[in-house]
Amino acid sequence: MNVTYRIDKDILYIAMEGRIDASNATQAEEKIYSIKNDNPGKHTVIDADNLEYISSAGLRVILKLRKDEPNLAIINVAPDVYEVFDMTGFTDMVTVEKAYQRMSVEGCEFIAKGANGAVYRYDDETILKTYFAKDALPEIKQERENARRAFVLGINTAIPYGIVRVGDGYGTVTELLNAVSITKMIRKNPEDLSEAVKYYVDMLKNIHSTEVEDGEVQDMKEIALDWATFVSAHIPEEQGKKLISLIEAVPKQNTLMHGDYHTNNIMVQNGEPLLIDMDTLCMGHPVFELGSMFNAFIGYSELDHQVTMDFFGYTHETSEKFWNMALKMYLGTEDQEVCRSVAEKAMIIGYTRMLRRAVRRPNEADSPAKIARCKEMLAELLCRVDTLIF
């Protein structure tokens, strides 16, 4: 028997490991209360991930703990141990959650990596997304809710059907039979991007033709204003004022947006595009979506083209070509001046976000160069762009 603990966001996770029976229940109780006394005021959760057996003596320890803390929860309970809790009536008194299935990405085909996790092809039928955060359950549940919301609104999206454990973290599994990412389509035929661009833009137009209610998803205008407010302290005063005023002047819109729309996040199945990675679902004017797209295809890799290859698996030149083709098709015009004007509006959003990120990560080796580049481009763009609306 062993009792350990960890603290995460004011929750005290007490791990009970091994076998707890009459021979060591008293010792387990003493350890648990010693941990609680050293960490007062925190909500307690019992993590039974490595609990192999618990007898009636061990159950009495948990019952005593539950009397002291009515909202006690027990998580990661193995099937055999869960049966003991169920037969003794504990599941009627305490929140008891079964352990999640364990899966491994070893040997799996890597599909994409984003800010919050990585996506793998587990088998011909299944996509597995792993999350970087050790306790990603709230994030996972929000992403599943976003996927359901988008699906109900008519967006063709893949809804994760299960939560699993991957190493010491969490993941989700999604059924995507023989689906292929647009990224993989581009890597296979970088000389002809027309089919990939059409899938990409058709889905984007479908998303942007959808309206959501206030409060259903995050408002990107509010988030962009936070970026601009932060950035304004790091650029000349007049530039900062104009940046904030440009974003403030963007009308409030309830237009649905993906928020992280790039070729890794669109799969093609049976000739239809569908979205994955729904944790960034949001609403607002499409200029905010285009700003995110500019960063993904050009901005983040502008100073180091290897970033594109590492992220997408195709060249920076291909990425830039895809961006230009997609923008033309999205806007429905071949007019270079119109496309340039809209691209510059998106670039203001993109560079604002990148500058904030670089300033907040001063220890990264390329941060000084990124900061200088973002400041240079914002100074140039803010001189000639007088509205972000298109």
Condensed to tens digits (0 to 9), the pLDDT of residues 192-238 reads 999 999 999 999 999 999 999 999 999 999 999 999 999 999 999 99
The end-to-end CA distance of the chain, in Å, is 65
Q: What range defines the domain where residue 89 resides? A: 2-99
Gyration radius of the chain's alpha carbons: 25
Give the pLDDT of residue 133.
Answer: 87
Q: Average pLDDT over the chain, rounded to whole?
A: 94
Give the pLDDT of residue 205.
Answer: 97
- Name residue 186's amino acid: I
Give the pLDDT of residue 178.
Answer: 80
Using 50, 70 and 90 to split pLDDT, how confident is the model at 177?
confident
Tell whether 146 is covered by a domain: yes
Task: Please determine, for residue 115, whether its predicted confidence score (pLDDT) is greater than 80.
Answer: no
Question: Are residues 120 and 56 part of one domain?
Answer: no
Q: Domain total for the chain?
A: 3
Question: Are residues 362 and 300 part of one domain?
Answer: yes
Instruction: Read off the pLDDT of residues 329-362 as tens digits, 9 standing for 90 and up.
Output: 999 999 999 999 999 999 999 999 999 999 999 9
Question: Are residues 340 and 315 part of one domain?
Answer: yes
In sign, the C-alpha dihedral spanning 285, 137, 153, 157 is positive
Question: Are residues 263 and 218 part of one domain?
Answer: yes
Give the pLDDT of residue 139.
Answer: 87
Question: Are residues 120 and 16 part of one domain?
Answer: no
Task: Please determine, for residue 50, whether its predicted confidence score (pLDDT) is greater than 80.
Answer: yes
Of 33-42, 49-58, 290-299, highest mean pLDDT: 290-299
Whether the model clears a pTM of 0.85, i.e. scores above it, the answer is no
Give the pLDDT of residue 135.
Answer: 79
Give the pLDDT of residue 159.
Answer: 84
Give the pLDDT of residue 73.
Answer: 93
Using 50, 70 and 90 to split pLDDT, how confident is the model at 183?
very high
Question: Are residues 156 and 61 part of one domain?
Answer: no
Question: Are residues 163 and 227 part of one domain?
Answer: no
